[in-house]
Structure formats: structure tokens, C-alpha cells
Copies of this chain bind each other. A is one copy, B any other.
Amino acid sequence: MSALDANTCRARLDAARVGRLATVTAEGLPHVVPCCFALVGDRLYSAVDGKPKSTMALRRLDNIRANPAASLVVDHYADDWEQLWWVRADGGCSVVAAPGERRSALAALADKYRQYRLAPPLGSVLAIEIDRLRGWSFVPQEHG
């Protein structure tokens, strides 16, 4: 695998419709779920399930309270492995508390996903502050 440059990593992360978000439980176990997200500056925003008391929403919120570290990967799979690539963003995750930041996060999510335009998320919004962004592809990147 070859490393992707920073601009390519950012562009592919921004364009991806789904990511897989890994967190760590209070017991030190890995937990991974697919999630929709939007990139704004150096932060990834993701809405937690609309029902604030659902088990899955609570689990993810418990995890980040116990351990704020998060890792989100976006990738492209094809049976032709020469087309494979992935980009991973690592950073600290927290619930967005400031109303202004929540509004801009929800606007970015609505801009990216039609469903969020039709029904704005009511639950918590998570922010991952990206500390490290790295990507790889099977075939070396062409620079032109």
C-alpha cells in the first residue's frame, strides 16, 4: 500500500457517504459502527440516533465519556484490489455542547444528507477533532 497525500485524504474523507467509527468501551473493548458524518474544518460531526434513550445511542455516548479516543475509517472496496484505498481519521471525540457549533454541525449534515434536511436530528451530535489523518491506496498515487 502507498500513502495518500493530505489533500487527497481530506477530499476522500469529505466525499465519503459512510464511515466506520471505532471507540473503546469502559472495559477496554473495541466497538465499531457504521455512521454518517460531515467534515467541517478539522472536525467530523455525526448525529447519534434520533431516539436519545436508545441502547445504541447510550452505548456510544458511554464509550466516549469513558475514553474519548475515536478512529473513523472511510474506504473503497472493489474485487479488483488495484482500486482499493482507505483514509483514517483519529482524534478525540466529544458531545457538541455549544449551540452555535451544534447549529453549524447540523447544517453541514443536512447539506450532505437529504434525510437530515427532512428530519433534523434531535439527539446528541458528536464531534471528532482530527489529530491525525492518513490514507493509503493499493496503487501509488499519480502526481501530474
Contact = CB atoms under 8 A, between A and B. Distances in A.
Contacts of A17: 77, 79
Given A24-B24, A56-B1, A73 B32 contact: yes
A85 B71 CA distance: 21
A30 B70 contact: yes
Contact of A115 (B22, B23, B33, B81): B81
Contacts of A18: 75, 77
A73 B20 contact: yes
A72 B22 CA distance: 10
Contacts of A22: 20, 22, 30-32, 71
Interface in A22-73: 22-24, 28-34, 49, 56, 67, 69-73
A28 B31 contact: no
Interface residues of A, number: 34
Contacts of A29: 24, 69, 71, 90
A81 B114 CA distance: 10
Contact of A71 (B30, B75, B77): B30
B34 A24 contact: no
Contact of A67 (B28, B56, B84, B86): B28
Contacts of A75: 18, 20, 34
7 contacts: A17-B77, A17-B79, A20-B22, A22-B30, A29-B90, A31-B71, A33-B73
